[in-house]
Structure 1
Amino acid sequence: MDDTADNIDNADDVDDADILDWETTDSRIDYSCPGFDIRMDDVRLPDGTETEFHYVDEPPAVVILPFTPDGDVVLVEEWRQAVGHVNRSLPVGGTEPEDDDLAAAARRELAEETGYEADSIDEFYVAEPANGIANSVHHYFVARGCEPTAEQRLDFNESIRPVTMEYEDLLAAVVDNEIRDGRTSLGVLQYELARP
């Protein structure tokens, strides 16, 4: 019998999380700015080593795939300072501490960023997009029947232009790497794979 295969089978019986868990002995905010904090945890690794770990600490976000009654998708064009260019993406917004209803938060963020309001909105995916450096959790919603019936209400540091695009063109732009925004690519591809 192959000892390697036997060891792999036995490894499946062990709770890997217990072997790999880090112990957090202290936690504090090192730096705060609008939208997120940089948190520093004092941690003890499984081998007993004590060290520090910094990461982006931010509230959950909602990402909306908004369809108009004609089947077009409402996108936002926004300057992204970190990469130095205008980005075309799905509307995304951070939640507030009082946001118990994520669907309501998604409706609010859609209206604030684009001026569009939805007839219906349903969650279809949850992701941790960068869990090696951030505690971000993104909740993806598909919104239908979106009409420009609200007024944009942008934050002081947002420059956003709403645009519409046919869904098939959006999907092609993601597949062809013309749209490089990670949240948008993930949302569109997950929607495409999961839709009936």
Structure 2
Amino acid sequence: MTDDEELAWTVESSHVAYECPGFDIVHDEVTLPDGSRTDYDYVDEPPAVVVLPFTPNGDVVVIDEWRQAVGRVNHGLPAGSVEPGDDDLALAARRELREETGFEAGSVEPLTTVEPANGIGNSVHHHFVARDCEPSADQDLDHDEHILVDTRPYDELLAAARDGDLRDGRAVTALCFHELFGDSA
């Protein structure tokens, strides 16, 4: 028996307990490896793309957006859900960058893929580095998005992550992977 088989839960039944735009809450009845039964609820949401966008001079295109769950403005990076039919994640990253910021990328390369909160959700975030980003159009925001766009020096963004001023997990993950692996991620 492999570790996966030894640790796997068996789903006896599953249903969507709550639906809303952007995610669902799923309720599973499961049997644990020791044979006991319990229930488990989790957030079910589509995969997302996150973009670390650099301008030609090395600054980073950043966004400020209200986040109701934490009750404050979030300083972060462009990100958004992968839509049905998005077979090319790099194209989805380009689209999200353009829609949220009005910037167009000269190139887009994969950085990493993570499961940011796999204890409570099935989220998968695909991070990309975009280079030579230039303003090219107006933002094309969703009805519930209100986003301010700015550029910041990369070192300033890193300092904000170190100091705890940049708290968005997607942005911090992108910066950490970029610092660890740079263009070889």
TM-score between both structures, scaled by the size of structure 2 = 0.96
- Of residues 112-121 and 14-23 in structure 1, the stretch that sits farther from structure 2 once superposed is 14-23
Structure number with larger C-alpha Rg: 1
Alignment of 1:87-106 (within 5 A): 87-106=74-93
Over the aligned positions, Cα root-mean-square deviation in angstroms equals 1.0
Corresponding residue number in structure 2 for 1:172? 159
Match for residue 161 of structure 1 among 145, 148, 161: 148
1:31 and 2:31 aligned? no
Match for residue 61 of structure 2 among 74, 81, 91: 74
Letter in 1 for 2:62: L
- Tell me the CA shift for residue 20 of structure 1: 0.7
Aligned length: 183
The whole-number CA distance in structure 2 between the counterparts of 1:107 and 1:69 is 16
Structure 2 residue runs without a partner (length 5+): none
Secondary structure at 2:104 match in 1: coil
Letter in 2 for 1:34: P
- Tell me the CA shift for residue 97 of structure 1: 1.6
Which 4+ stretches in 1 moved above 2 angstroms?
A: none
Alignment of 1:1-196 (within 5 A): 15-195=2-182
- Quick check: 2:111–2:174 contact (8 Å CA) kept in 1? no
Structure 1 residue runs without a partner (length 5+): 1-13
Letter in 1 for 2:168: D
Higher strand share: 2
Secondary structure at 2:174 match in 1: helix
Letter in 2 for 1:26: S
Letter in 1 for 2:4: A
- Tell me the CA shift for residue 156 of structure 1: 1.2
